[in-house]
Amino acid sequence: MRTPSLKAIKTFQIAARHSSFAVAADELCITPSAVSHQIKTLETQLGLPLFSRGARALALTDAGARYLEQIDDLFVRLEAVTEQLRARFGRTSVRLHVPAYFASEMLLPRLSEFSKLHDGIDLRIDTSGGHGRHHAAEADISVVVGTGPWNGLVAHPLFAQTMVPACSPELLAEKPVRRHEDLNAHTLLVHEARRDDWDRWASAVGIKELRPSQIVRIDSMSAATRAAEKKIGVALLPAELSRRKFAQGRLVRVFDEELVTQEDYTLLVRTEDENRDDIRALCAWLVEACRAPSEN
């Protein structure tokens, strides 16, 4: 049997990780039909199904789950060997995978500080791929949002994830909110990956039921934040990551009560990589930068 191509195997890995051909297609910048074709070719070459395809769900078969487990390890080893080769014979480069909103609000505004301290370290920053809940196999360092456990990884907690209602100051002036129930006169912006956050926040502050005039669902936190700035509605935003926008007056807190999600922003690195000088330098800087964000 001819060995399947790395391209097809990588496509399978991403589709399996997200349980979605559509999400895999978005991450790989190809069409869902192209993903489906590559997976079908791979299954034909292997002579067995990797997915069971239902009307509304995509699930791994037992063989698919076993294959994913093995290729995850192989890709990690391949990436590590490749990076070690680069580190020894080429320029030093660290691959950093972070959620897009973390990148725009926490990382990028401070990145020049790291560059001044470590101008010999090249960075590859990736904000694609889901909503940052897993350590990316192709990354040296990941910043994720979750609760763990982080088996086989070195974890550095950065800060707790709490959510706060926010909108533009102009919108709040046009439609004042003095009581919790006044939110029902507003459009609520809902992040697709966190659909129940508004209900959880309402329950925490004692609102029996939210009945907003309109709900707008948005597929990323960055887009939800821009919509809030454009006076489209009220969004539940990460309190820590939104500090800069509050300080600049681009957004205001509608209420001070925050939803405690029980999740943390956590920096993850593989055990075998943590002693690399470049990775250790970036990890230490990120931990320190997140420790006192209001000073940056």
Say if residue 233's pLDDT is above 80: yes
* Higher local confidence (pLDDT), 68 or 292: 68
Which percentage of the chain shows pLDDT scores above 70? 93
Structure tokens at 210: 């939210």
Of 137, 141, 152, the residue nearest 266 (C-alpha): 141
In a domain, 80, yes or no: no
Q: Is the pLDDT of residue 295 over 80?
A: no
Q: Does some domain include residue 273?
A: yes
Q: Is residue 236 part of a domain?
A: yes
111 and 60 in one domain?
no
Residue among 268, 280, 270, 274 nearest 148 (CA):
268
**CB atoms inside a 10 Å sphere around CB 140:** 25
CATH number for the domain harbouring residue 192 = 3.40.190.290
Please say which residue of 72, 101, 121 terminates a domain: 72
Return the SS3 of 47. coil
> pLDDT band at 130, cuts 50/70/90?
low
91 has a pLDDT exceeding 70? no
Tens-digit pLDDT profile for residues 178-210:
999 899 999 999 998 888 999 999 999 998 888
42 within domain boundaries: yes
pLDDT of residue 132: 59
Same domain, 21 and 120: no
Question: Do 213 and 100 belong to one domain?
Answer: yes
pLDDT above 90 coverage of the chain, percent:
61
- Same domain for 67 and 98, yes or no, is no
Structural domain contains residue 97: yes
Check whether 254 has a pLDDT greater than 90.
yes
Q: Token digits for 187? A: 């459009």
* Average pLDDT estimate for 227-252: 95
Query: Do 47 and 113 share a structural domain?
Result: no
The C-alpha atoms of residue 202 and residue 212 are separated, in whole angstroms, by 12
Same domain? 131 vs 61: no
- For residue 129, pLDDT over 90 is answered with no
Q: ∠ CA 239-103-26 to the nearest 5 degrees?
A: 110
* Torsion angle, alpha carbons of 206, 207, 208, 214, to 10: -160
The mean-pLDDT minimum among 153-157, 263-267, 281-285, 288-292 falls in 288-292
Residue 83 forms part of a structural domain:
no
Same domain as 216, residue 146: yes
Amino acid 133: pLDDT: 67
pTM of the model: 0.68
Coil, helix or strand at residue 78: helix
Tokens at residue 265, please? 């922003």
Q: Over 90: is that where the pLDDT of 131 sits?
A: no
The pLDDT of residue 216 is 96
- What CATH number is attached to the domain comprising 55? 1.10.10.10
27-36, 116-125, 151-160, 233-242: range with highest mean pLDDT: 233-242
Instruction: Identify whether 87 is part of a domain.
Output: no
Same domain, yes or no: 42 and 164: no
| Overall domain count for the chain | 2
Q: Which domain holds residue 18?
A: 6-72
User: Is the same domain home to 189 and 219?
Assistant: yes
Same domain, 244 and 124: yes
- Give the residue-averaged pLDDT of 19-48: 90
Given a cut of 70, whether residue 1 has pLDDT beyond it is no
Q: Per the domain annotation, does 85 fall within a domain?
A: no
Flag whether pLDDT at 8 surpasses 60.
yes
